[in-house]
């Protein structure tokens, strides 16, 4: 399968600071990337869908100004958690796909802890 | 509303036994996926099922799809400890694979020696 790399794998930050998570497709060009959030022992919840060169589409209930998504190139999307608070602590996972006919592949995930 | 229900949510079984995880979804599906997740890790793709009656097998795991019943199953044969993980089904809807994967609740499988 295709390789999707997510960085960092773990991050601890102080309340009020911002954290950026990167998602890269290493061996293919990803027209679409997805960002998910997973709380402990729960399923994955889609936060937003980003298409290269356009604004991300956020799911209902996800704050656009808090979770900034940029998909500036066909191999990189970033999720910035702004003014992080302890309730933002979670496991964030990205996935990327080449096109609508192909399967999306998942990154390794990022464990965010806000203290 | 798109819904995916998995059962059971928790499954504890002995090594060597067989069991089935069920995945019911609420609307017509184009693709049905099964994933494995180990604690603290991301998702590993196991199977992609594309059509009614599709059956795929990999080692001790076999997945099937019944689009008329809107049901997919993941069957575990002669379970071994290494299969302990959380298993998710997910589906997309459209001819090409929709924008979104809708995930099931997950089944936490524990294999007891």
Nearest to B42 among A57, A103, A108 (CB): A108
pLDDT band at A9, cuts 50/70/90?
Answer: very high
What percent of chain A shows pLDDT beyond 70? 99
Peptide bond into A26 cis (omega under 30): no
Judge: B108–A41 Cβ closer than 8 Å, yes or no. Answer: yes
> What mean pLDDT, rounded, does chain B reach?
91
Q: What is the mean pLDDT of residues B24-52?
A: 90
Cis omega (within 30 of 0) on the bond before B8? Answer: yes
Asked whether the predicted pLDDT for residue A76 surpasses 90, the reply is yes
Least CB–CB distance from A101: residue in B43, B88, B97: B97
Is A100 within 8 Å of chain B by CB?
Answer: yes
**Which of A43, A44, A103 lies closest to B48 in CB terms?**
A103
Q: Is the per-residue pLDDT at A60 higher than 80?
A: yes
Strand partners, B48: B33
- Top residue of A93, A94, A104, A112 to mutate, by most chain B CBs within 10 Å, is A104
C-alpha–C-alpha distance, residues A45 and A65, integer Å: 18
Residue B104 pLDDT > 90? yes
Neighbours of A90 (CB within 10 A): 20
Helices vs strands, H then E, count in chain B: 0, 11
List, as ranges, residues 15-54 from A with C-beta within 8 Å of B.
Answer: 32, 34, 41-46, 49
Classify strands B31-37 and B71-76 as parallel, antiparallel or unpaired.
unpaired
Q: Which residue of B has its CA nearest to A58?
A: B100
Q: Quick one: average pLDDT of B74-78?
A: 97
């Amino acid at each position: 399968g295709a390789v999707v790399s997510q960085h960092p794998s773990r991050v601890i930050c102080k309340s009020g600071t911002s954290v950026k998570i990167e998602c890269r497709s290493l061996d293919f060009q990803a027209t679409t990337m997805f960002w998910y959030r997973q709380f402990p022992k729960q399923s994955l919840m889609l936060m937003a869908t980003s298409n290269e060169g356009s604004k991300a589409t956020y799911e209902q209930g996800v704050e656009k100004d808090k979770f900034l998504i940029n998909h500036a190139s066909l191999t990189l999307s970033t999720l910035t958690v702004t003014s992080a608070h302890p309730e933002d602590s979670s496991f964030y996972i990205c996935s990327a796909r080449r096109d609508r006919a192909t399967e999306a592949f998942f990154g390794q995930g990022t464990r965010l802890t806000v203290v | 509303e798109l819904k995916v229900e998995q059962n059971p949510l928790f499954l504890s079984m002995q090594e060597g036994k067989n069991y089935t995880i069920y995945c019911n979804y609420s609307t017509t599906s184009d693709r049905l996926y099964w994933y494995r997740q180990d604690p603290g890790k991301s998702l590993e793709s196991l199977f992609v099922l594309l059509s009614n009656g599709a059956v795929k097998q990999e080692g001790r795991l076999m997945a099937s799809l019944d689009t008329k019943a809107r049901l997919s199953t993941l069957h575990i044969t002669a379970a071994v400890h290494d299969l302990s993980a959380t298993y998710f089904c997910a589906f997309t809807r459209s001819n090409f694979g929709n924008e979104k994967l809708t995930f099931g609740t997950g089944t936490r499988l524990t294999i007891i020696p």
